[in-house]
Chain A
């Protein structure tokens, strides 16, 4: 990793970490985790399930807020506000810019995840110590595995954000497209399954729609594969093969997106 790339990564990280949105996101997450302490008492027995559900959801929400507000600021707004000249007037290629930005954003997200993981671990530890009996079906390993899987999803999602930034001209459109891709990516698997099992019986879809869904299935990133929250809530074990697969999927898809983004961005004119 050359010195200038490290400088770019640190530049991106610092600018992101000082975004005031982070305070809001942090407070929100802590609030949600604190809420877990209260909500838990409303439930019957499986307190580990509720604790894990809330904590993992809090971490995911935080990641989404970071991606849709801070990342967009760091990339799309870079072009909007012409701060990108700071970087491109230096000896960076367009491709290096894309990768440097991506790694800077990922560093930010990893650090944020690290802090949130600590906070949620503390929350769960506390609840566990209070209600030891009702925490039978819990596993720390399962909990951290789910967080790891979420992180893989955010690798991919942020690459999506960067990709859209290179093809659109406004940060708002990037935001819209990114959120739409997130929603589509989360639901596509279930929609396809639903149509496959009910298709012929209940609904007769036109050829066109079937084709669109077929294509969409492979182009859209299937984000639901990274959702191990429900399994983690019940300490259901995930096979190593599956973990390896989703890691590979995330890395490969991310790299494809970044390569295409680099390609597009190299040809783009900055007015």
Chain B
């Protein structure tokens, strides 16, 4: 009697197991997500080891590592999380390894530069990588252009800025405005215009929608700042002195209303009559508890 009972029950038992498996998997997936978020996965193998292990598959390994970095960043960008110093180290080390495996990998250099300079102001690190790119991508105008821009915009070094932008202007495919911009860079010392041109160029070639949005936000803010500076100049022209507050521009009806800073800060006029924002063009909106755990688990 018993064996017969078991036999007839076994298909039922099988179905039960399958359903159970499905439920366990679902639960595990959620737990795994938490597990991965808590895990500090930003180690990088030194490039010599990666290179040897990758053997003749360096290209495809570099692609994989790059995907890893860009998804990591993409995730942070999408959630508008603040990045910490340790993230800067991770990005730099990762891209250093990636570009040791494939020294022509422009996407990696670009990502590193845009994040290290704009988000972290670690220009020396950004430029270190760009100089490596310059050794290999000898015909790519974007490399010296970005080096030059970093010097000009972040380091306020017009000499080197102009030097490298000039170098870029001579390479094939460089934008038409670059030659004259490089030649008269000192004129743009107090303008946002070169940065606007630069970002427009970068955005035009960016496919990744998350990155594109991030750059566009920055570009739009710069355009707003530029417009505000033009308004400040107009004020000076009319009233003979610079305004003290942005609200002055609204009062005197030079601008309709105070524009909003996408980064959540307030626009203000600096002592040298330049316009900037309290947010410093960095997202500070979210600081989730998980971020705190990142820092403490160091």
The interface of chain A, by Cβ under 8 A from chain B, is 39, 42-46, 49-50, 52-54, 56-57, 60, 134, 183, 186-187, 190-191, 194, 223-224, 226-227, 229-231, 233-234, 236
Residues of chain A with a CB closer than 8 A to B207's CB: 43-45, 134
Q: A54 — nearest CB in chain B belongs to which residue?
A: B60
- Contact call B70/A44, Cβ cutoff below 8 A: yes
- Which of A45, A54, A57, A183 is within 8 Å of B205, CB to CB? A45
User: Which one, B52, B56, B59, B208, contacts A44 given CB within 8 A?
Assistant: B208
- Determine if B60 and A53 form an interchain contact, defined as CB atoms under 8 angstroms apart: yes
Residue from B56, B67, B105 within 8 A of A229 (CB atoms) = B56
Using CB atoms and an 8 Å cutoff, list the residues of chain B in contact with chain A. Answer: 48, 51-52, 55-60, 62-63, 66-67, 70, 101-102, 104-107, 110-111, 205-208, 211
Q: Are A44 and B63 in contact (CB under 8 A)?
A: no
Q: List 26 A-B contacts (CB under 8 A).
A: A43-B107, A43-B207, A44-B70, A44-B206, A44-B208, A44-B211, A45-B107, A45-B110, A46-B106, A49-B63, A49-B104, A50-B63, A52-B59, A53-B59, A53-B60, A53-B62, A57-B59, A60-B56, A187-B52, A190-B51, A226-B56, A227-B58, A229-B56, A230-B104, A231-B104, A233-B102
Q: Given A44-B211, A53-B60, A230-B58, does the pair A190, B107 have CB atoms closer than 8 Å?
A: no
Give the CA-CA distance A96 to B169 in the complex, in Å.
63
Closest chain-A Cβ to B263's Cβ sits at a distance in Å of 24
CA of A49 to CA of B137 in the docked complex: distance in angstroms? Answer: 14
Decide: A229 near B107, CB < 8 A? Known: A42-B67, A190-B51: no
Chain A contacts for B51, CB-based, 8 A: 190
Contact residues in A for B102 (Cβ distance below 8 Å): 49, 230, 233-234
The 5 nearest A-B residue pairs measured at CB: A234-B104, A186-B55, A53-B59, A227-B56, A44-B107
Q: What residues of chain A lie closer than 8 Å to B106, measured between beta carbons? A: 45-46
Cα A106 to Cα B189 in complex, Å, equals 65
The listed residue (A56, A190, A230) touching B52 by CB distance below 8 A is A190
Q: Which residues of B contact A49 (CB under 8 A)?
A: 59, 63, 102, 104-105, 107
Contact B48 A194 (CB under 8 A): yes
Task: Name which residue of chain A comes closest to B137, CB basis.
Answer: A234
Contacts of B55 in A (CB 8 A): 183, 186-187, 224
Which residue of chain A has the shortest Cβ distance to B51 in the bound complex?
A190
Interface majority SS (helix, strand, loop, mixed), chain B = helix
- Distance in Å: Cβ of A46 to nearest Cβ of chain B: 5
- Asked if A44 contacts B104 (CB within 8 A), the reply is no
Tell me the smallest distance from the CB of A197 to a CB of chain B, in Å: 9
- Select which of A46, A60, A224, A226 is within 8 A of B105 by beta carbon: A46
Interface centre among A187, A191, A226, A231 (most CB of B within 10 A): A187
CA–CA, A271 and B213, complex, Å:
73
B104's partner among A39, A42, A56, A233 (CB-CB below 8 A) is A233
Q: A54-B60, A223-B56 are in contact. List 18 more A-B contacts (CB 8 A).
A: A43-B66, A44-B70, A44-B110, A44-B207, A44-B208, A45-B110, A46-B105, A49-B102, A53-B63, A187-B52, A194-B48, A224-B56, A227-B58, A229-B58, A230-B59, A230-B104, A231-B104, A233-B102
Residue numbers in B under 8 Å from A52 (CB-CB): 59
Q: How far is the CB of A129 from chain B (nearest CB, A)?
A: 16
Whole-angstrom distance from the CB of A61 to the nearest CB of chain B? 9
Asked if residues B57 and A57 are in contact (CB atoms below 8 Å), the reply is: yes
B56: chain A residues within 8 A (beta carbon): 60, 186, 223-224, 226-227, 229
A56-B59 contact in complex given A44-B111, A49-B105, C-beta closer than 8 Å: yes
In the complex, the chain B residue whose C-beta lies closest to that of A234 is: B104
Residue of B nearest to A191 (CB): B52
A57 to B58, CA, bound (A): 10
A87 vs B102: C-alpha distance in the bound complex, in angstroms?
A: 47
Residues of B within 8 A of A233 (CB): 59, 102, 104
Q: Which residues of B contact A44 (CB under 8 A)?
A: 70, 107, 110-111, 206-208, 211
User: A57 CA to B56 CA in the complex, in Å?
Assistant: 9
CB atoms of B59 and A229 under 8 A apart: yes
Q: Report the Cα distance A230→B59, complex, angstroms.
A: 5
Residues in A neighbouring B107, C-beta threshold 8 A: 43-46, 49
Closest residue on chain B to residue A224 by CB atoms: B56
Q: Among the interface residues B57, B59, B66, B102, which one has the most CB atoms of the partner chain A within 10 A?
A: B59
Shortest CB–CB separation between residue A52 and chain B, in angstroms? 8
Question: For residue A191, which residues in chain B have a CB less than 8 angstroms away from its CB?
Answer: 52
Chain B residue numbers with a CB within 8 Å of A60 are 56-57
Q: Is the CB of B57 within 8 A of A45?
A: no
Residues of B within 8 A of A53 (CB): 59-60, 62-63
Of residues A39, A57, A134, A183, which shows the largest number of chain B Cβ atoms within 10 Å of its Cβ? A57
